[in-house]
Amino acid sequence: MTISPSDQLDTDRLAESRAIARVETYETLSSTQDRAHEVARSGAVGPLPLLIVAEEQTAGRGRGANRWWTGRGSLAFSLLFDPAGWQLSRQPLPERSLAVGVAIVETVRPLLAGYAVGLHWPNDVFVSGKKLAGILIDVLPSGQHIVGIGLNVNNTLHGAPGDVRARAVSLCELSGRTFDRTTLLLELLRNLEAAVRESAAAPEEFGSRFQDLCLQIGQELTIEVGGQCSVGRCAGIAADGALLLETLRGREKFYSGVLR
Ligand code: BTN
């Protein structure tokens, strides 16, 4: 699919957003996440939140050793912000990436009538068994956060590596139409700030949405933590962000790990 000129991101509209203080846009970048780290390290961070968006990433990365393939027409961006600027804790909190996941679900759900859009622990948004968006949160020693999001929007997965093609999907493939990515990004930024704030203000209440949106409930999952695998039936996601598994030892909570 070719992306029409009208699908260009509108930098002026982004810059006007009250959700951010500044924006950097790039045609090609290794990784918006790495660029955000570079800015943070420079000592001249400037006003935050800083939004960094790229049309293409040559080395987009995900959790652990994962790579993120950035299809043309998708959204790939990182938001560098200081939670203290929103009067929130600077501690790394497992539920924060799920709160960002809730924000993504809320943003795309109205565009995908008839589809069950939900959370796939630990940090993905899935639809129809496929990955629509990935989230990567890096917390810096200063407490500043970098939230990186890759969201498949107007791209098809045809040009993607085989493993990505088999497991990922885009909004346009599901709905048969294309979307104004600037509008989508602005809505997502608003929802993201609101979700992070609400999750901090009312963790139990907000966290109950993780359970409602968890798409893995009832599935048998294998999780690897520190080289050790545990198998169990998924009972959902706790309000504190933990994956709940019914294993032979009873109900166990996992705050980190890799699903196998
Ligand atoms: C994952 O699936 O494990 C998380 C993927 C996160 C990808 C986004 S794309 C924008 C930002 N820049 C990166 O290099 N990664 C994140």
| Residue 46: CATH number of its domain | 3.30.930.10
Distance 135 CA to ligand 1 centre (A): 6
Per the structure, the count of domains in the chain is 2
Whether residue 55 has pLDDT greater than 60: yes
Residues 192, 224 share a domain: no
Distance 248 CA to ligand 1 centre (A): 34
Residues 157, 115 share a domain: yes
By most ligand atoms within 8 Å of CB, the mutation choice from 63, 149, 256 for ligand 1 is: 149
Distance 102 CA to ligand 1 centre (A): 17
Domain encompassing residue 238: 216-259
pLDDT band at residue 65 using 50, 70 and 90 as cut-offs:
confident
pTM, 2 dp:
0.96
Residues 246, 185 share a domain: no
Residues 248, 196 share a domain: no
Contact residues for 49 (Cβ-Cβ < 8 A; gap 6+)? 19, 20, 21, 22, 79, 80, 81, 85
pLDDT band at residue 5 using 50, 70 and 90 as cut-offs:
very low
Contact residues for 165 (Cβ-Cβ < 8 A; gap 6+)? 157, 158
Query: Within 13 Å and on the Cβ side, how many CA atoms surround 48?
Result: 19
Residues 195, 105 share a domain: yes
Q: How far is CA 147 from the centre of its chain?
A: 7
Residues 248, 231 share a domain: yes
Distance 61 CA to ligand 1 centre (A): 5
Q: What is the pLDDT of residue 6?
A: 55
Ligand 1 binding pocket (C-beta < 6 A) is: 31-33, 57, 60-63, 66, 68, 76-78, 123-124, 134-136, 148-150
Which numbered atom of ligand 1 lies nearest the CA of 77?
A: 10
Strand duo 124-127 + 22-29: pairing: unpaired
Residues 227, 104 share a domain: no
Burial 120-151 (b: 16+ CB within 10 A, else e): bbbbbbbbeebbbbbbbbbbbeeebbbbbbbb
* Residue scoring higher pLDDT (159 or 98): 98
Residues 149, 230 share a domain: no
Other C-beta atoms closer than 10 Å to the C-beta of 84 total: 12
Mean pLDDT of all residues in 141-152: 97
Residues 244, 197 share a domain: no
CATH (domain of 222) = 2.30.30.100
Q: What is the pLDDT of residue 43?
A: 85
